[in-house]
């Protein structure tokens, strides 16, 4: 049997999906939910769980150990914490003394947390270990495919997303007719799409390209694509979305394909060279 999985849960639906997948696979699990980030309704009251503040790393490690957890997955977005949430316990303070407060909110923080977990003897695994069928696949979801203009916009988007990723800034770019309408920093993809809508010229298409950063650790921060992003892309007047095959999570591929067809947009997994 697979070892007991610790699910360190941030926001959104994904922690619930991981728990459900564990149940379906008969794999034991224990949730360590981050209060103020994890959604109690998603976590439910049936699953074995502990709740901690972000600043309570010491307690968190202890709870995971008490629950007999061997492998750990970190899943669900954690927005930038307030100072109050962070009020660090001894273990957290030692952590920050080493990595520095300025790592906060950056990819650097997640990477540091992952190696901290490993130093405590936990093995950090990627969510795709549990939700393997959620990893984006190459080719279209649904029946709509990119036309020539969309393909050209995707190429430009890949070039810019790569460059941004190398700078450890965002992962997402919106391009219309070769013009970069917007690039993502920490505001999130849905906010990016909302502001690009009014900047886009009507009827000229445009695409959202979302890649993982070069060297990004798949275990800790895989971009997710779902119905909300698809609908925001449609509302912004875009023609479709390109995500990195093997580098993004698609929560419900069937529903995503169906909604893409309904909206007349393409969603496609690409393998940028």
- CA 175, CA 196: separation in Å to the nearest integer? 9
Quick check: 147 binds its own copies (CB under 8 A)?
no
Q: How far is the CB of 181 from its own copies (least distance, A)?
A: 6
Quick check: 77 binds its own copies (CB under 8 A)?
no
- CA 198, CA 233: separation in Å to the nearest integer? 12
Name the helix (H) or strand (E) containing 181. Answer: strand 179-183
What tokens does 146 get? 């990119």
DSSP conformation letters of 134-170: GB--SEEESS----HHHHHHHHHHHHHHHHHHHTT--
- CA 231, CA 106: separation in Å to the nearest integer? 27
Q: How far is the CB of 198 from its own copies (least distance, A)?
A: 9
Quick check: 67 binds its own copies (CB under 8 A)?
no
Quick check: 214 binds its own copies (CB under 8 A)?
no
User: Between residues 175 and 256, which has the closer beta carbon with respect to its own copies?
Assistant: 175
User: Between residues 97 and 101, which has the closer beta carbon with respect to its own copies?
Assistant: 101
User: Between residues 182 and 247, which has the closer beta carbon with respect to its own copies?
Assistant: 182
40 to 27, 63, 78, 117, 215: CA distances (angstroms): 22, 18, 15, 24, 33
User: Between residues 118 and 168, which has the closer beta carbon with respect to its own copies?
Assistant: 168
Q: How far is the CB of 105 from its own copies (least distance, A)?
A: 5
Burial of 59 (0-12, 13-18, 19+ CB in 10 A): middle
Q: How far is the CB of 40 from its own copies (least distance, A)?
A: 25
Residues facing 266 on adjacent strands? 240
Quick check: 101 binds its own copies (CB under 8 A)?
yes
Q: State the number of binding residues for its own copies (CB under 8 A).
A: 33
Q: Where are the alpha helices (DSSP H) in 26-147?
A: 40-43, 57-66, 83-86, 90-99, 107-119, 127-130
User: Between residues 60 and 197, which has the closer beta carbon with respect to its own copies?
Assistant: 197
Task: Show the site string, 161-190: x = touches its own copies by CB under 8 A, - = not.
Answer: --xx-xx-xx---x--xxxxxxx-xxx---
β-strands 172-176, 179-183: how paired? antiparallel
Q: What is the DSSP letter of 55?
A: T
Quick check: 105 binds its own copies (CB under 8 A)?
yes
Please select the residue that binds its own copies; options are 94, 201, 254, 262, rule is CB under 8 A: 201
What tokens does 50 get? 């502990």
Of 45-53, 63-71, 152-160, 237-245, which part binds its own copies (CB under 8 A)?
152-160
Residues that bind its own copies (CB under 8 A): 80, 82-83, 101-106, 152, 159-160, 163-164, 166-167, 169-170, 174, 177-183, 185-187, 191, 195, 199, 201
């Amino acid at each position: 049997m697979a070892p007991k999985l610790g699910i360190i849960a941030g926001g959104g639906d994904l922690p619930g999906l991981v728990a459900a997948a564990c149940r379906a696979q008969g794999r034991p699990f224990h949730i360590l939910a981050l209060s103020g980030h994890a959604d109690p309704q998603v976590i439910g009251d049936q699953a074995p769980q502990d709740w901690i503040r972000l600043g309570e790393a010491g307690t968190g490690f202890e709870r995971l150990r008490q629950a007999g957890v061997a492998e750990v997955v970190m899943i669900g977005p954690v927005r930038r914490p307030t100072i109050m949430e962070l009020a660090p316990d001894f273990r957290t303070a030692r952590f920050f003394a080493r990595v520095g407060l300025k790592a906060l909110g950056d990819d650097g923080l997640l990477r540091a947390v992952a190696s901290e977990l490993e130093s405590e003897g936990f093995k950090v695994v990627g969510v795709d270990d549990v939700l393997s069928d959620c990893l984006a696949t190459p080719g279209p979801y649904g029946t709509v495919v990119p036309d020539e203009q969309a393909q050209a916009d995707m190429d430009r988007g890949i070039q810019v997303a790569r460059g941004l990723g190398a700078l450890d800034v965002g992962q997402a770019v919106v391009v219309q007719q070769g013009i970069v309408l917007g690039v993502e920093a920490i505001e999130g993809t849905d906010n990016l799409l909302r502001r690009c809508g009014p900047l886009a010229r009507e009827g000229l298409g445009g695409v959202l390209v979302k890649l993982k950063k070069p060297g990004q650790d798949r275990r800790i921060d895989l971009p997710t694509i779902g119905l909300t992003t698809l609908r925001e892309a449609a509302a912004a007047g875009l023609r479709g979305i390109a995500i990195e095959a093997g580098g993004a999570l698609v929560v419900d591929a069937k529903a995503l394909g169906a909604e893409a067809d309904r909206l007349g947009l393409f969603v496609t997994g690409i393998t940028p060279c």
